Structure 1
Amino acid sequence: MPGHPTAPPGPRPVETDEASGTIVLRTPASCYVLRLDRTAGTAWNVHWGAPLPLADAAALPVWADHDDSFAGRGDGVEEYPVEGGARFGVPALAVRFADGSSPLEPRAEGIRITDGNHVTVSFRDRARPLAWELHYRVPATGDVIERWTEIVHTGDVTDEPVLLLQYASAHWPLPQRAHWRLSSVHGSWSAEHRLGRSELAFGETTLTSRRGHTGHHANPWAMLDTGSADEERGEVWATALATSASWRLTAQRTASGRAGIMAAEGHEGVEISLAPGRRHTTPVSAATYSPDGFGGVSHAFHAYVRRHVLPHGEETRPVLYNSWEATSFEVDEDNQTDLARRAAALGVELFVVDDGWFAGRDDDRAGLGDWTPHARRFPRGLRPLADEVHRLGMAFGVWVEPEMVNADSDLYRARPDWVLHLPDRRATELRHQLVLDFSRPEVTDWAYGWLRELVDGCAVDFLKWDFNRSFTEAGAHGGGPDARRVHIEHARGLYRVLDRLRADFPHLRVESCAGGGGRADLGILARTDQVWTSDNTDAVDRLTLQHGFSQVYPASVMASWVTDSPNPLTGRRTPPAFRFHTAMAGVLGIGGDLARWTAEETEEATRLVALYKDIRAVVQHGRQYRLLAPGQGPLCAVQYVAADARETVVLIWRPSTSAWSAHAPLRLCGLDPEARYRDEDTGAEWSGATLAAHGLPLPGLPPGDCASALVRLRRSSPAED
């Protein structure tokens, strides 16, 4: 536009050197180099790290020239190692042919580039009817590279199926280094996303979920560094897998110092029978390299999720109220209407009715599967409540658990064969419920039908989509050699239902929940708008949960509630401001019993909701900096900076005074050093340079445990000379 400088052109996403077969994938901060070797029938990784000139990348040798008959020549450097030949690492592709043989002998077919940013490298077995394509894509903006693989049975109808034993999305080879450290999250129900960093062991380290869903105990991402990186400095390599099914990430470290990450859908024993003419496409594995530490990796993933994963990443999420902790299963039209009026008075924008609204649902032992309004509690149906919520100026949402059924339900009595089961085994009930087989089209058609009727007939704007138990007795309907593929096909059925619903109702927004944070991944985020981080709403525990969650996922998808004190799960007492400040670090929700709040609590909550609305654009769409990690000192602090650096928000918590000592000023990040920033509450002004070099003087915190503060700084003028 006239009067505005033109942004400098970014790097060309793909460059090639035909003579050497070298392909260079570029992002602003990284360079990924692979080389097609037609003689060896494979592709080698040459470099992944800081940018290199094309000429240098084409001239670099492949580190695969050692002469060791006990190690594979390509171990650690092959882009997509198959089982066969002198390969002794984890295979990306392993099969079993009809005659029982398994080795593959690849032949490189060629390279195809489409749209300027999508590279396809093709292979086939030299004698057997199997081909595979490695796909690489560089999204238009950001520092993330996407990879996936397509595997095709190329035989005719008279050929036998090929059994896929392993079918990874990608192998990400890393450079040779003396030391490697692995970062990942671990946990359990109500204790998800606990960040851990430890030296990567020699051999193979596997992170996995065998549960049929993403899981609470690990999450499908991993980061590797050389042991010296911190939040702002050091090289870090990371990958995340876009699947909500069972999954497996294997980090490998060789004796020579090579490392790599194999990213795969499914877990061991989940096999796929590939018939002639059929194609299997893996989920996307997204990866990034940053020279700017763990914070740099997070910035790349946050931007990627908002721009390229979420259906509506540009939207600002509303303030939500959920009725579960106020009414549990005792929901009815009267108490929900009362809560809705109280929530609207606080400034809430989305009112969600939780469990208990449907037929037979007087406790958790019955009703799942019978998705019509409870006749006694909602004799007029849900529409009058929805209309009242809309009249109050809020959107209307409901809790659903479409993938589950109680044995005490009309659905189960009519269709017991729809659950995951094995004919000669008793079905295991967990939480008094069973899992419906979403790999079956008749089941997903049923789910889509009643969900469409619910959303349309009851004017629903928002679904909290829950999933409250893992798979047991999981075999595909009809059995067969790949009966366990339900561990991946169930999630694909879920995706089809969500995709159909969102196409029919563009206004509909969805929150992913699985007993808390058991389904948080790039696959589900491509079809939902936010995730329920954990059933643990304790504001102190949440600091640790949210720290781990933020390593890959942005604040705009992290739902976080303010609930009552003492906390219903932990019994911990915390003041309202501390609870609000913790929840304001993501998408603010309220889940307390508003009918019991005092006038003082209601007044403070109203003020804090209004404050959140003032800062949420920065929190949800700005760049996040983890200034002080929870548990590593007396304070925890996080900062958000607007894209234009005009505003910044700093949240500070002191969970306990037991180890309290005077703390240095907080050195802020991402500000314009030449500008001055004014504290919105105190009027104090500081230059961006001072706030970065010296730091923000700590605001006074209230006395005692669980104290917190929120600081808003807005650019006021250019800095003085």
Structure 2
Amino acid sequence: MKKVPFIIVLLFLSAGLFAQEMIIPIETNDNLMLLQTSREGLLNTVYFGKPLEGTEEYSNVAASYNFRDANGGIYNATYTTSGTWNLVEPALEMIQSDGNTSLELKYVSHKQEATSDNAVLTSILLEDAQYNFQVVLYYKAWTKENVIEQWTEIKHTQKEAVVLKKFASANLYFTNKEYYLTSFGNEWAKEMQRNEEKLTRGIKSIDTKLGTRAYLLQSPNFILSCDGKAAENTGTVVIGQLAWSSNFRYDFEVVANGNLRFLAGINPFASEYTLQPGETFKTPSLIYVVSHKGTGEASRNLHSWARDYRVLDGNGERLTLLNNWEATYFDFDENKLTALFKDAKELGVDLFLLDDGWFANKYPRNGDNAGLGDWQENKKKLPNGIGYLVEEATKEGVKFGIWIEPEMVNPKSELYENHPEWVIRQPERPEKYFRNQLVLDLANPEVQDFVFGIVDKLLDNNPELAFIKWDCNSVIYNAHSAYLETQKVPQTHIYIEYTKGLYSVMQRVRAKFPKIPIMMCSGGGGRGDYELFKYFTEFWPSDDTDPLERIYMQWNYSYFFPAIVTDCHVTDWGKQPLKYRVDVASMGKLGFDIVAGELNEKDKQFAQDAVKNYNSFKDLVWHGDMYRLVNPYENDIAALMYVNNDKSRAIVFNYLVNNRYMSTATTRPVVFAGLDANKKYRLKELNVYPGRRSWIDTEKVYSGDFLMKVGMNPNVSLRNTSVLIEATEVL
């Protein structure tokens, strides 16, 4: 297949010279999207599928389809507008400065160029010349990973402002036969609840309107299968998300000819945007990976792309930790904390994390109803300050981290008393609280300075501070910005300006403190997107740490995120034994939320050995290729596997997920994947509980071919509910 040349290519064509249609390929190694102009200069999507060997045949593609849409509008428009002859859901809806609601965009020019991060960037200029209105479509394609990042820039040179009513980031078009959508509903402690459905005639919309903690009720992650239900190793799938930390909306529209239109972008709900002359509005990115070999290949490619190009320090290391939250909640002092440092050292983890409750004096933070916003150490709990705790942790041989929630405020706080104008709230309405708190107005530059200052002061005063947990527990109620009002900016900008303000703060944090690990937390899975991952090293998937529930959640998250960003803690949630809990948490970035000093001797010995084992294979989990082997939704067990780059080592996690009585162990072997068929491997069971013996013969040698065709039975049962198997190449 001929690739896009790695030079800048500029192509210009005036609107009056469309005797020959212009063809624009968006190419990766395994997928091809063809855009083509009509004789009238309109830009359409004519192909989305497997690549063609010869570029000379691109011109034959459009004529091979016979979809008549005279009564339906412009079904396959690459960026569908409203107000003219389109009758389907628009990507862009607006009001011109003279009140006219029509827009018709025609092709002007395009260019394709190599970028410094191994991608090819295509930009296409469209224009409505009658109204001096321009749209630039961007497609950034990582050829090897089959990942595309797509966004739009909108601008105009009219004399007065225009109003954008809807402004999608992407407008995709598919001509397959049968479409299934897998989406993921959220609730607190019930994140990533999968729902697979066949898309039928009409529009299926998925959205959120919460502002902050935006994914509390609906995840932005999706799997679109284009030829039947999504399968792990077969079929065409598109896996992705909108990289935006606030309100989003997806429209999946099956039109009259059976084809599918997919629109993705900022939710237009309460978000009309007044665009001034000369101002450019940039939409967030839709990031998606395409595979014609199922969800397994798609997610592995997305993981590789994320580690290499998007997640902060994606190819680096992470810190294991002991968190005090479930051990103490708000009830602690210096003595309790320093005793926990010893527990962290005994466990063998890298870091102790101090959670909520360490701050505020006039309104001390002894519960979630006071103190939030007053970021000074509580003198009663911590008379010697954070610096003392950092020093004591260092003496004990562990690093020290801290929890903050800088975007929020309790009404019972000095901050609220001094700056009520910094709070998002309707001035004429009663205040409505979520978790006894309100959201600070990050559209306001003074609030941005305040939030940045919290981090800046903590790290300047405590340069040895090694980790930050950044929480965000409230949604936006009664959306109103006093700052936007003083600036005479419409209140419909608030959700967008808040999010831009958050990004501005994080850019400042990373400019001054580029390396400190920061966890993205939001009452569980309320945040987790590839825009914030430019600034955060990891995220908290759910407050539900029951290991059985976590198997399903982490399975679903694995479609979208590499394991290195997924924080998985061992807690007292659930009825499973400690081994099961630790094994499940070892599938991501391991942490503990337990009173380690109260473990019995066998549990303590197991936990210490498990941390050592984890340190021996964590590089596999963080940086290896992930293979989902046995689906827990369809079987009594779950199995998932990580393989390193040279296929010399792998780790296989096996879990019982059906606790009903079973008279025998697993009846069938688990078939491995991702190994080298020609290599030889020895198997070893890890995390064997003290006093038990593994059944695996560590002297026996298996071929990769055998393990990937016949497999190995992990003998999971009610007596042996969790089995970790290491495969190591025999040299």
Answer yes or no: same fold by TM over 0.5: yes
* Equivalent in the alignment of 2:707: 691
Q: Give the aligned residue type for 2:147.
A: V
- Structure 2 residue 357 is the aligned partner of structure 1 residue 356: yes
CA apart distance, 1:13: 7.3
* Equivalent in the alignment of 1:167: 167
Q: What is the alpha-carbon distance in structure 2 between the residues aligned to residue 657 and residue 433 of structure 1?
A: 40
* Equivalent in the alignment of 2:48: 48
Q: What is the alpha-carbon distance in structure 2 between the residues aligned to residue 231 and residue 133 of structure 1?
A: 35
383 and 9 in structure 1: CA distance in 2 versus 1, 3 angstrom threshold: farther
Q: What is the alpha-carbon distance in structure 1 between the residues aligned to residue 413 and residue 122 of structure 2?
A: 50
* Equivalent in the alignment of 1:5: none
The answer as to whether partners of 2:322 and 2:352 remain within 8 angstroms in 1 is yes
- Structure 2 residue 75 is the aligned partner of structure 1 residue 79: no
* Greater displacement, 54-63 / 523-532: 54-63
Q: What is the alpha-carbon distance in structure 1 between the residues aligned to residue 41 and residue 497 of structure 2?
A: 32
Q: Secondary structure at the match of 2:219?
A: coil
Q: What is the alpha-carbon distance in structure 2 between the residues aligned to residue 179 and residue 198 of structure 1?
A: 11
CA apart distance, 1:17: 12
- Structure 2 residue 105 is the aligned partner of structure 1 residue 89: no
RMSD: 2.1
- Structure 2 residue 404 is the aligned partner of structure 1 residue 400: yes
122 and 9 in structure 1: CA distance in 2 versus 1, 3 angstrom threshold: closer
- Structure 2 residue 374 is the aligned partner of structure 1 residue 370: yes
Q: Give the aligned residue type for 1:322.
A: N
Q: Secondary structure at the match of 2:494?
A: helix
* Equivalent in the alignment of 2:623: 621
- TM-score computed with the length of structure 2 as normaliser: 0.91
Q: Secondary structure at the match of 1:382?
A: helix
Q: What is the alpha-carbon distance in structure 2 between the residues aligned to residue 44 and residue 631 of structure 1?
A: 40
* Equivalent in the alignment of 1:507: 515
* Equivalent in the alignment of 2:221: 221
639 and 93 in structure 1: CA distance in 2 versus 1, 3 angstrom threshold: same
CA apart distance, 1:70: 2.4
The answer as to whether partners of 1:104 and 1:125 remain within 8 angstroms in 2 is yes
Q: Secondary structure at the match of 2:130?
A: coil
CA apart distance, 1:216: 2.6
Structure 1: stretches of 5+ with no match in the other structure: 1-7
The answer as to whether partners of 1:17 and 1:58 remain within 8 angstroms in 2 is no
Q: What is the alpha-carbon distance in structure 2 between the residues aligned to residue 293 and residue 504 of structure 1?
A: 42
Q: Give the aligned residue type for 1:375.
A: K
* Greater displacement, 366-375 / 594-603: 594-603
141 and 220 in structure 1: CA distance in 2 versus 1, 3 angstrom threshold: same
1:415-452 CA-to-partner distances (Å, cap 9, x unmatched) read 11111112211221111100111111110111111220
The answer as to whether partners of 2:186 and 2:216 remain within 8 angstroms in 1 is yes
Q: What is the alpha-carbon distance in structure 1 between the residues aligned to residue 717 and residue 389 of structure 2?
A: 41
* Greater displacement, 231-240 / 273-282: 231-240
* Equivalent in the alignment of 1:473: 478
The answer as to whether partners of 1:16 and 1:22 remain within 8 angstroms in 2 is no
The answer as to whether partners of 2:91 and 2:166 remain within 8 angstroms in 1 is yes
235 and 13 in structure 1: CA distance in 2 versus 1, 3 angstrom threshold: farther
Q: What is the alpha-carbon distance in structure 2 between the residues aligned to residue 385 and residue 319 of structure 1?
A: 18
The answer as to whether partners of 2:9 and 2:112 remain within 8 angstroms in 1 is no
Q: Which of 498, 514, 536 in structure 2 is aligned with 1:528?
A: 536
- Structure 2 residue 295 is the aligned partner of structure 1 residue 294: yes
The answer as to whether partners of 1:266 and 1:487 remain within 8 angstroms in 2 is no
CA apart distance, 1:284: 1.3
* Equivalent in the alignment of 1:256: 257
Q: Give the aligned residue type for 1:709.
A: V
Q: Which of 515, 532, 542 in structure 1 is aligned with 2:550?
A: 542
* Equivalent in the alignment of 1:4: none
Q: What is the alpha-carbon distance in structure 2 between the residues aligned to residue 363 and residue 574 of structure 1?
A: 30
Aligned residues: 695
CA apart distance, 1:306: 0.8
Q: Which of 135, 144, 148 in structure 1 is aligned with 2:151?
A: 148
Q: What is the alpha-carbon distance in structure 2 between the residues aligned to residue 21 and residue 677 of structure 1?
A: 54
CA apart distance, 1:16: 8.5
* Equivalent in the alignment of 1:672: 676
Q: Secondary structure at the match of 2:730?
A: strand
The answer as to whether partners of 1:33 and 1:46 remain within 8 angstroms in 2 is yes
CA apart distance, 1:63: 7.5
Q: What is the alpha-carbon distance in structure 2 between the residues aligned to residue 621 and residue 547 of structure 1?
A: 17
* Equivalent in the alignment of 2:181: 182
Q: Give the aligned residue type for 1:411.
A: L
Q: Which of 436, 439, 446 in structure 1 is aligned with 2:440?
A: 436
* Equivalent in the alignment of 1:329: 330
Q: What is the alpha-carbon distance in structure 2 between the residues aligned to residue 703 and residue 282 of structure 1?
A: 51
Q: What is the alpha-carbon distance in structure 2 between the residues aligned to residue 10 and residue 607 of structure 1?
A: 50
CA apart distance, 1:462: 1.2
580 and 12 in structure 1: CA distance in 2 versus 1, 3 angstrom threshold: farther
Q: Give the aligned residue type for 2:36.
A: R
- Structure 2 residue 670 is the aligned partner of structure 1 residue 656: no
* Equivalent in the alignment of 2:579: 577
* Greater displacement, 655-664 / 62-71: 62-71
* Greater displacement, 206-215 / 463-472: 206-215
Q: Secondary structure at the match of 1:138?
A: strand
Q: What is the alpha-carbon distance in structure 1 between the residues aligned to residue 723 and residue 4 of structure 2?
A: 42
* Greater displacement, 536-545 / 45-54: 45-54
CA apart distance, 1:585: 0.8
Q: Secondary structure at the match of 2:62?
A: coil
Q: What is the alpha-carbon distance in structure 1 between the residues aligned to residue 347 and residue 88 of structure 2?
A: 58
CA apart distance, 1:268: 2.3
* Equivalent in the alignment of 2:25: 24
The answer as to whether partners of 1:12 and 1:26 remain within 8 angstroms in 2 is no
Q: Which of 606, 609, 614 in structure 2 is aligned with 1:607?
A: 609
- TM-score computed with the length of structure 1 as normaliser: 0.93
* Greater displacement, 639-648 / 126-135: 126-135
CA apart distance, 1:523: 1.4
Q: What is the alpha-carbon distance in structure 2 between the residues aligned to residue 615 and residue 366 of structure 1?
A: 43
- Structure 2 residue 423 is the aligned partner of structure 1 residue 419: yes
Q: Secondary structure at the match of 2:182?
A: strand
Q: What is the alpha-carbon distance in structure 2 between the residues aligned to residue 530 and residue 179 of structure 1?
A: 36
CA apart distance, 1:302: 1.0
CA apart distance, 1:702: 5.9
- Structure 2 residue 384 is the aligned partner of structure 1 residue 387: no
The answer as to whether partners of 1:15 and 1:23 remain within 8 angstroms in 2 is no
CA apart distance, 1:639: 0.7
The answer as to whether partners of 1:148 and 1:169 remain within 8 angstroms in 2 is yes
Q: Secondary structure at the match of 2:617?
A: helix
344 and 13 in structure 1: CA distance in 2 versus 1, 3 angstrom threshold: farther
Q: What is the alpha-carbon distance in structure 1 between the residues aligned to residue 578 and residue 505 of structure 2?
A: 39
Q: What is the alpha-carbon distance in structure 2 between the residues aligned to residue 710 and residue 12 of structure 1?
A: 46
Q: Secondary structure at the match of 1:168?
A: strand
CA apart distance, 1:394: 2.6
Q: What is the alpha-carbon distance in structure 1 between the residues aligned to residue 724 and residue 564 of structure 2?
A: 18
- Structure 2 residue 556 is the aligned partner of structure 1 residue 555: no
CA apart distance, 1:238: 2.9
Q: Give the aligned residue type for 2:124.
A: V
1:229-279 CA-to-partner distances (Å, cap 9, x unmatched) read 411111112332111111111111112121132110234231111111111
The answer as to whether partners of 2:186 and 2:219 remain within 8 angstroms in 1 is no
The answer as to whether partners of 1:366 and 1:408 remain within 8 angstroms in 2 is yes
The answer as to whether partners of 2:423 and 2:481 remain within 8 angstroms in 1 is no
The answer as to whether partners of 1:321 and 1:351 remain within 8 angstroms in 2 is yes
82 and 44 in structure 1: CA distance in 2 versus 1, 3 angstrom threshold: same
Q: Secondary structure at the match of 1:196?
A: strand
419 and 192 in structure 1: CA distance in 2 versus 1, 3 angstrom threshold: same
Q: What is the alpha-carbon distance in structure 1 between the residues aligned to residue 157 and residue 701 of structure 2?
A: 69
- Structure 2 residue 461 is the aligned partner of structure 1 residue 485: no
CA apart distance, 1:281: 0.7
- Structure 2 residue 228 is the aligned partner of structure 1 residue 209: no
Q: Give the aligned residue type for 1:522.
A: Y
- Structure 2 residue 709 is the aligned partner of structure 1 residue 707: no
Q: Secondary structure at the match of 1:220?
A: strand
1:665-694 CA-to-partner distances (Å, cap 9, x unmatched) read 111111100001111344132111101111
CA apart distance, 1:12: 5.3
Q: Give the aligned residue type for 1:190.
A: A
The answer as to whether partners of 2:224 and 2:230 remain within 8 angstroms in 1 is no
